[in-house]
Amino acid sequence: MPTKSPAAFGLAERAEPETFRARAISATLAVKDPEKSLAWYRDKVGFWVEQKFERAGKLTGFSLKAGDVRILINQDSGSTGWDRVKGAGFTLHFTTTQDVGLLAEAITKRGARVELGSGDASGLRTLRLCDPDGFKLVISTAR
């Protein structure tokens, strides 16, 4: 039996070569103080430390996980200036099946400042965080 083309179903033909199809995303952030960032992400937000990277006995970076999501944190070299604004125009968005209100409560108890959204018409709740270097994180319930 002949196979119908995508056009027969009102679909566009696939571009050749095949268009980009990602399965996951991870981010790398350059921070001023890896020890301070490690404490914030691990102890306040609740990330799991997957791996630490050291040079001459000093922490230079680490890999974090939260469920299937991975973030790599590296020591900023300062080569483009220490006073530049970090995280401007950049936000990491995470989705979870956890209760965002309870998550916000736990993060607040551990000492991080949290901005909790009240939810929209679909019931989507969000919490917003800002790390020690100014990188923004948003955690929301999965739809």
Q: What residue ranges do the domains of the chain occupy?
A: 25-77+89-141
DSSP string, the chain: -PPPPGGGGTPPPPPSSPPP--S---EEEEES-HHHHHHIIIIII--EEEEEEEETTEEEEEEEEETTEEEEEEE---TT-TTSPSSTT-EEEEEESS-HHHHHHHHHHTT---EE----TT---EEEEE-TTS-EEEEEE--
Instruction: Tell me what the pLDDT averaged over the chain comes to.
Output: 84
- Tokens for 111, please give them: 């000492």
Give me the CATH code for the 25-77+89-141 domain, please. 3.10.180.10
pTM of the model: 0.74
Predicted local confidence at residue 122, as pLDDT: 65
- 11-45 residue pLDDT tens: 666 666 667 677 777 899 999 999 999 999 999 99
Residue 9 has pLDDT above 90, yes or no: no
Cis peptide before 17 (omega within 30 of 0): yes
